[in-house]
Chain A
Amino acid sequence: MNQFSSEPVHHRIMMFRLGEQWFGIPSIFCVETLPRLPITKVPFKSDAFFLGVILNHADLYLCIEVRQLLTGCNSAESHPQHLRHVFPRLLLIKVLGELWVFEVDEVSGLQTIEDLCINADFTNENDLLSAQFELDGRQVFLIDAIKLANTMKARFNEIC
């Protein structure tokens, strides 16, 4: 609730799926959703975390693997053959002035969530997840974008 009025506060969240888990990231950090594009490995640098670069609108973006960070599983583990279809997309985000691209299994799009529905008191081993809510019967974890960006940056610095 807004302290100055009785109007509820809403959040715009971009929702996406990795494996069986749904995540949300505040729309303020989202720049663009992209179709799956070729990822070009960068000599000396590419590894399991830093996949390479993608070309979008004649600009190059760093593409990283966030699956392990967010779900604790790697790509193979989160896609056993009997699971549902994957509709791969790329999500381009900008946090703390830096652009990152990562692949997701499905993008649900922007959703408006009432503040009251978000449970910030939930406990989770993964400190990149700051809150949780339910939408259409799905449990969605809200990502702490700043922490995610700092983690990605730290991992990236190890490579570079």
Chain B
Amino acid sequence: MKSADPFLWELFKEELDLHGSELTKGLLSFESEGFKVIVAESLMRAAHSIKGAARVVELAALAEICHEMEAIFFALSEHAAPIKPDAADDLLKVTDWMVELSKRPHYPNPEEIISIDLQAKIWRKRLKTHLTGEQPEIIHENLSSSIGGLVNEPIGEVSPEENRDSFIKVTPNHLGNIMSRSSEMLLETHKLEALSPSLKSLRTLTQQSLLSISRIDGSSNDLKVCTTNLMKLVDRLDSFIEDFNGAVSNTRFLAERLHLLATQSRMRPFSDVVRGFPRLVRELSKELDKTVNLSIQGDKTWVDRDVLVHLEAPINHLIRNALDHGFETKSERIAASKDVMGQLIIEARHHRGRLLISVSDDGRGIDFDRLRAKLIREGFIAADQAPQMTTTELSRFLFLAGFSTRDSVTELSGRGYGLDVVQDVAEMHGGNVSVASEAGIGTRFELSLPIARSVVRSLEVSVGGQSFAFPFSDIVRTLTIHSSDLLIERGILYLDLDNERLPLIPAAALMQMPIDGVHSDVLLSVVLIETRHGKFAVEVDHFNGHQDLIVRPFDTRLGQLPGLSSAAINDLGSVVFLFDVDDLSRSASRYLTEHTIKPVEELSRTTRPIRVLIVDDSLTVREREKELLETFGYEVYTAVNGFDALTQFTQADFDLVVTDVDMPCMNGLEFVRKLRLDKKLLSVPVIMVSYKDSTEDRLKGLEAGADFYLSKNSLQNGALIETILSHFGKMNDTINLG
């Protein structure tokens, strides 16, 4: 049977996806922009196309539904009458149902055909009522589409402006090969360019030989022939060099064009990811009884396909967030003298080498006072610290896994799992997310991502005789300083810049390469980087200039390479390692801690007892441990969970932490990990004490950064105090302070 032909089925699926998308977009536009005859006519054509395709694959039931849809759109265009909401709903639902059908990998089997026919009959009957004006029957649940049925599949390589009938399928592998060959061609072209100086020197040599010969006295025939030949050689070399340079220049132009086209083939328009969002906003608005208008700006902005694939989930969440948390109800908006219709804007644009995607609303904004109060109430921050925290600092808590500003959980949001995913996706692609908000005005979330993963504009540097590169977008500043301008403090070199003291860390040390050491009276090449781990000055051997590097992912067998994100190829066809600046700064932070001379080795002016922080949600355990340690002369403080403990660290220094694992708000593993992210706290010893005593639990604890892992029995059997004493020596020892 012709209809069972897999190729035809694939074509039908693409056709349905394409026209289904058009139907959805057109129907939604009736609601947002009002009825337009021209749109109704295009929807009629779309329905007609699906009808034809359905007939080819012998899905008569589908063809009949499309026939009804055609009739509806025809009637609408004839009478120029706006579409009724329930009719639009049904048309959208039946479109979703048809598109869901098209997601099947194979043509339906006979049993499935029977089921489709039955469902199609019900849909036809329902659609007919919109023509006749009868009351439609209630559609059974299994026939109605859900938000989960939204179509978000890319429709292929064609943009809306291109001829939809002329497109071909290309596998990602094939595209990758084209990309590789175009990169190779570019490299070979650069090598050709490098030959040009050699040709010029050949010409110079020939010219010099000619001059030398011309100075020889003599009129022999051989001499004349030699002179003539050399003159011809010079002329031909001139001509050849000119032709060669011309050809190389053209080849370079073509190779760069080809490479650009190959790179662009990886890029997709932002519209690919947002197609389903108008529908999402419509459905959510109805569900929440809010009126929201969605505006998408920059839908033609190019996005790397690797990034695009992961954008849908975070933007989806930001939209749900805006609709659930952000927008006020209709009555609230009226009371606030706002337009009843809320405005939700999704924008994509390129800015300074980055892709910026923002989701902004004109809703109620973030109530930072309420946020502050919630953070204090839940023990995330201390009450006296809260007033000093800026809105930016407070906003960071929004991205914590498990944290929510809502007091109750709705179906849409409120569980506190979502914004952390947004942040994870951004960071996974070398980007970040920020939020700006004003109470009563609105909120704006912005994702900042690299434009292309395949080509990165970078500053190439030499470190230990090897080539590395910093992505341009990650560099704060580059500078050349004199070694005499450096300061040394506790074994670390610092430079004073704009009233800021920055640690200077050799990149060679971070890459575990041999370091020459700092010589006096030399100029140093320095790159300033800044991440959440801090601001650092990274010393390199020298700058090699800016490059557009062709990125090559690491072989997965290599595993994780600290401080490096990938390999790349430069203009000369050499391998360059691209720094992962976030990971590099984490290494820098660790380096500082390991190489900073501890204060206990310096002269002390004051002393204090050894200060211990006990972290446990159980009052009994806290008091028991406190009592035990105070008996041995330690100064003991307590915290109820990881957050409380981190807050305590902002108020005092601790020499030892004894922490439980299972705690609410922030467990011991997460607490220790966060502790270790702070460069000042890297060296604080941590003992984990837990009822969970398996090898796996112990490994988890040690991997998180704990120095010791003991069972809760250690309180009774003396192992805890023994461990503490063995680390700190005699009971009466005190800490020397600098």
Contact = CB atoms under 8 A, between A and B. Distances in A.
Interface residues on A, range: 10 to 19
A45 interface: yes
Interface string B390-414: 0000000000000000000000000
B73 to A, nearest CB: 51
Contacts of A160: 557-559
B555 A62 contact: yes
Given A59-B552, A62-B557, A40 B575 contact: yes
Given A58-B180, A58-B187, A42 B513 contact: no
Contact of A58 (B181, B513, B558): B181
21 contacts: A40-B575, A42-B558, A42-B577, A43-B511, A43-B512, A43-B577, A44-B561, A45-B558, A53-B575, A55-B569, A55-B574, A55-B575, A57-B180, A57-B184, A58-B181, A58-B184, A58-B187, A58-B552, A60-B567, A60-B575, A62-B557
Nearest to A61: B555
Contacts of A53: 555, 567, 575
A30 B555 CA distance: 19
B466 interface: yes
Nearest to A57: B184
Contacts of A40: 466, 574-575
Interface residues of B, number: 25
Interface in A122-160: 153, 156, 160
B620 to A, nearest CB: 46
Contact of A60 (B181, B512, B552, B561): B552
A158 B574 CA distance: 27
Given A53-B567, A58-B181, A58-B550, A45 B561 contact: yes
A8 interface: no
B545 to A, nearest CB: 19
B564 interface: yes
Interface in B402-452: none
Given A43-B561, A58-B550, A62-B558, 19 more contacts: A38-B574, A40-B574, A40-B575, A41-B466, A42-B558, A43-B466, A44-B511, A45-B558, A53-B555, A53-B567, A53-B575, A55-B569, A55-B573, A58-B180, A58-B187, A60-B552, A62-B555, A98-B557, A153-B557
Interface in B540-576: 550, 552, 554-555, 557-559, 561-562, 564, 567, 569, 573-575
* Most chain A C-beta atoms within 10 Å of own C-beta, residue among B181, B512, B561: B561
Interface string A25-68: 00000000000001011111100000001010111111000000
Contacts, number: 56
Contact of B561 (A38, A42, A57, A61): A42
Interface of B: 180-181, 183-184, 187, 466, 511-513, 550, 552, 554-555, 557-559, 561-562, 564, 567, 569, 573-575, 577
A160 B552 CA distance: 19
Pick the 5 closest A-B CB pairs, nearest first: A58-B184, A40-B575, A58-B183, A160-B559, A43-B511
A38 B572 CA distance: 12
Contacts of A156: 557
Contacts of B577: 42-43
B181 to A, nearest CB: 7
Nearest to A50: B558
B398 to A, nearest CB: 36
Contacts of B552: 58-60
Contacts of B187: 58
A59 B172 CA distance: 16
A40 B574 CA distance: 9
Contacts of A45: 558, 561
A153 B574 CA distance: 26
Nearest to A62: B555
A153 B184 CA distance: 29
B131 to A, nearest CB: 59
A57 B188 CA distance: 10
B282 to A, nearest CB: 46
A19 to B, nearest CB: 27
* Most chain A C-beta atoms within 10 Å of own C-beta, residue among B466, B555, B574: B555
A40 B464 CA distance: 13
A60 B552 CA distance: 7
Contacts of A41: 466
A74 B550 CA distance: 35
A33 to B, nearest CB: 18
A60 B117 CA distance: 54
Contacts of B558: 42, 45, 62, 160
